[in-house]
Structures are given as C-alpha cells and as structure tokens.
Amino acid sequence: LTSRLQKAFRDLSGKGHVSKSDLRKTMRQIRLALLDADVNFDVVRKFVRQVQDKAVGANVLEGLNPSQQIVKIVDEELTKTMGTKAVPLNKAKTIPTVIMMVGLQGAGKTTTAGKLALRLKTAHKAHPLMIAADVYRPAAVDQLVQVGQQIKVPVFQMGTHHDPVDIVKAGLAQAHRDHNNYVIIDTAGRLQIDTKLMNELKRIKALAKPNEILLTVDAMTGQNAVKTAKGFNDALDITGVALTKLDGDTRGGAALSIRAVTHKPIKFVGEGEKLQDLDIFHPDRMASRILGMGDILTLIDKAKKGYDKKKAEKLTKKIQENTFDFNDFLAQLNKIQHMGPLKNIMKLIPGMANNPIMKKANMNPKQMDHIKAIVYSMTKQERAHPEILTPSRKRRIARGSGRPIQIVNRVIKQFNSMKKLMNQMSNGNFGGLGKMNKM
Ligand code: GDP
Ligand code: MG
C-alpha cells in the first residue's frame, strides 16, 4: 500500500496543477493500493468516492499545491474512516469493570488479556483478575496462569473440566470478594467462526454482562480479518477491537476496513509478543502510517518514554529548523538499535521506511554497522556540516570506513533526502503531518 500510494503522490508532485484526468488517475492508484493492502472492496469504493468528492469540492484543480491538498484530504479521510480519535476502554459504574476477550484461535486473546492487565495495573493502578475460560485447548489455562505470574496478576482457573460459564461465574464471585476493579475473561477461540463457539460466548456474555467485549483480530489475516470482525460483531455486538501483530509486515488495511464494516472502535494495537507491546490505537497515526509517511508522533512518544524528553524535543526542533546533522543521525541510529525490533522503528521514521539503504540495513544489522562506520569516519566538523563534504573528503571517508565510494555517496544522498523529508513533514508541508507543528 505504502509504496503504491507514495507513487501516486509522486506522480502528482512537481506539477503546477492537477487536471481531471490526473485526479482520476490518482484515485485509481489509491483504489488499487488499498485493495492491494486487503482493504475490503466496499470500503475502498466508499473511501475513494469520499476523497474524490472532497478533492473536487476543495477546488484542488485551482489550488496552489494540488498534490499536498490531495495528501491532506486522503489523510483526513483515512483518519475519519478509522474513527478520528482514540477511544478508551468502557468502565463500569460499580466495580468490577468486566472485559471479555473474544476472537479466533491464535488471534492473540490470551496475550492481549495479559497485556491489558499489565497496562491497567501500571497505568491505572488497577487490581485486575483474569479468568481462564478457554477449556478446549489443554495448554490454554496454563498459558494464562503463566502470563499472570509474569505480570503478577491473579488468575482464576478451574482446569478444563467445567463449563466455561460456571468458571466465569465462580471467577466473578472471587473478584467481588477480593475487590478486583477489573476482570478480564479469556475465552476460547476456533479456527473458524461456528455456532457452538458463538453460543458459548453468548452464554458467557449473558452471565457476565461485560462492559467491554474486545474482539482480538490478527492484523495479518487481511481480508479475513473483516469477515471475522463482522461475524463476531453480528453475534455478540462487540464494543471494541484489539488489532494484534501490527509489528509484522501488515499494511494497516485491516484497521481501515474493520472499523468501516463494524462501526466499532479499534481500541488497542498489539505490536509484539512481549506483554509490554500494547499501544492505544490512534487513527490519525495509523492513517499516516498507511500513507507511508512514517509515524513520527509515535516515534517521538517512544523516544520520550524510553529516553530523555528534552532530547526528543531538541531533535524535533532540529528537524524543524533543518539543522539535523550527521551527529543527530548517528544518535538516532544508536537509539534505534536500542529501541528493540528495528523493523518497527524503521516504519515509524518518515523517509526511513522507503529508504533503500535503511531497508537493507533493516534486514541486515551488519549494514547498519556499515552506515555507522561511514559516519564515524567523518570529522566532527563534517558531521555537523554535511554540506562541506567534497569529493576528496568523501574518498577519505570511504577509505576510513572500508566502504566503496559509491556507498558513501549513497548514504550521504539518502541522509540529505531524509533530512529534507523530515523537515517538510515537521513543517506541515505534507498534509496530515502538519500536526507535528502543534507538538
Ligand atoms: P489466542 O489463541 O487468541 O489466545 O492467541 P495467543 O494469545 O495464544 O497468541 C497466539 C500467538 O500470537 C502467540 O504466539 C503470541 O505470542 C502471538 N502474538 C499475540 N499478539 C501478538 C502481537 O501483537 N505481535 C506478535 N508478533 N505476536 C503476537
Ligand atoms: Mg488463548
């Protein structure tokens, strides 16, 4: 999706105005790109029509910078389709708030239950209880018990020889006794939606009266994710969605269509197997990500969380003032290597995801070291003022780093375009990322 859309925008940029046929061509490409990313056909059709209407209404044909306007409209409409704002968990008036996890087998229910419990515990100082109500897979109960031990959250279980409804009933009684303010029910899944599973879930729902029925969907299942979401929503009237495995090579298409088809908010996204890897779903950020602009907001969030806040602000300022230099670049590279799964972070830095050098480095950590070697071979002055890099200096750097001159040139070229892109984005020249300004 990303590269397709970017191509569509590239084709538009550099032109003084957009003709009707340009607009039609771009819309065609956007439609193909979305379909390519497994977005539901009807959603795509509706989406493209919305954007087209807006584009025409906004007088794009007479605008000063039509390509930017179209990017902005596409970004806004993507955000709107996904719900505009992050939606928090429902809360009960009197404790406990009951959250029921539902979804197909392997979607990530048990993992997400643990992630959610950890999040509630740390961010909301809550005392959750988890209930093991998957009695079909022999290891399911143990799995939840282990998750509970890891995060020090109690797990209620009765083995696998009871009716899940009875287990939930007993679990809720214990939660009342122990004054747990949250209860998370981990239910069974199937490989396919079937009546037996749905009937059991309906019975649990009728008993537990959950405040939140959180459907867990594997984002990597593409078009099937939409069918799953529709099936569960029709049967259970879910209240929210947790989209898992977004750390994989998924392209966000599922987020777009699940919301459009079920009209239920995506509340959380799973971004890894670890119990810390849960994030609130931000439609605007997802839109930017789908557009391939990198999710700079999330990145800055992460940087703030894991690193010095001041440093992150300084970096933002540097990007905005266009004084981002090779020292900053190096600092970023080092930071990235410390921030865990490189692939995740790469996607988040505008210009990096589609940067061929970075892509290579991403697949091969050795490449990353090569890039670093090149930067380390620069003098302090060269790093701070890349514009002084003359051919003879570049040759010296090539010798120093043991990399061919072509690679040195390429790294410098990529650095420059990345810098330019980051600056443009931070100054709001790329539609949706104008949000950066407000930071
Ligand atoms: P359940 O059958 O729905 O309870 O699914 P599980 O919670 O057992 O998860 C199935 C598999 O998906 C496990 O190997 C999890 O580690 C993995 N998993 C769950 N969420 C994520 C995620 O956000 N990212 C990745 N990479 N793996 C995940
Ligand atoms: Mg499970």
In angstroms, the CA 2 to CA 350 distance is 12
**Beta strands at 266-270 and 278-280: parallel, antiparallel or unpaired:** antiparallel
Q: Is the pLDDT of residue 4 over 80?
A: no
Contact between residue 226 and residue 254 where contact means Cβ atoms under 8 Å apart: yes
More confident residue, 25 or 294: 25
CB of residue 187 inside a 6 A radius of ligand 1: no
CB of 109 within 6 A of ligand 1: the answer is: yes
Has residue 141 got a pLDDT over 90? yes
Pick the residue with more confidence: 19 or 63?
A: 19
Q: Report d(CA 103, CA 107) in Å as an integer.
A: 6
Alpha-carbon dihedral angle through residues 316, 319, 324, 330, given to the nearest 10 degrees: 50
The Cα 297–Cα 300 span in angstroms is: 5
Q: For residue 350, which of 390, 297, 391, 401 has the smallest C-alpha distance? A: 297
Q: Which of 101, 147, 142, 102 is nearest to 121 (CA)?
A: 147
Which residue ranges form the domains of the chain, and what is each CATH number?
Answer: 2-81 (1.20.120.140), 97-287 (3.40.50.300), 296-438 (1.10.260.30)
Q: What pTM did the predictor assign? A: 0.67
Is there an atom of ligand 1 within 6 Å of 105 CB?
yes
Protein residues within 5 Å, CB atom, of ion ligand 2: 109-110, 140
* Best residue among 111, 142, 232 to mutate for probing ligand 1, ranked by most atoms within 8 Å of CB: 111
Residue 41 has pLDDT above 60, yes or no: yes
- For the stretch 359-376, pLDDT in tens is 555 555 667 778 888 988
Give the closest ligand to the alpha carbon of residue 109: 1
- Check pLDDT > 90 for residue 275: yes
Strand 212-218 relative to strand 240-244, pairing: parallel
Which among 136, 138, 178 has a CA at the least distance from the CA of 155?
178
Of ligand 1's atoms, which has the minimum distance to the CA of residue 216?
3
The minimum-distance atom of ligand 1 relative to the CA of 107 is: 3
**Does residue 114's CB lie within 6 angstroms of at least one atom of ligand 1?**
no
| Complex-level ipTM beyond the 0.95 threshold | yes
Annotated binding site: 103-110, 186-190, 244-247
Strand order in the sheet with 212-218: 155-156, 128-133, 182-187, 97-103, 212-218, 240-244, 266-270, 278-280
pLDDT tops 80 at residue 186: yes
Rounded CA gap, 86 and 266, in Å?
8
Whether the pLDDT of residue 438 is over 50: the answer is no
Which has the minimum average pLDDT: 96-100, 114-118, 359-363?
359-363
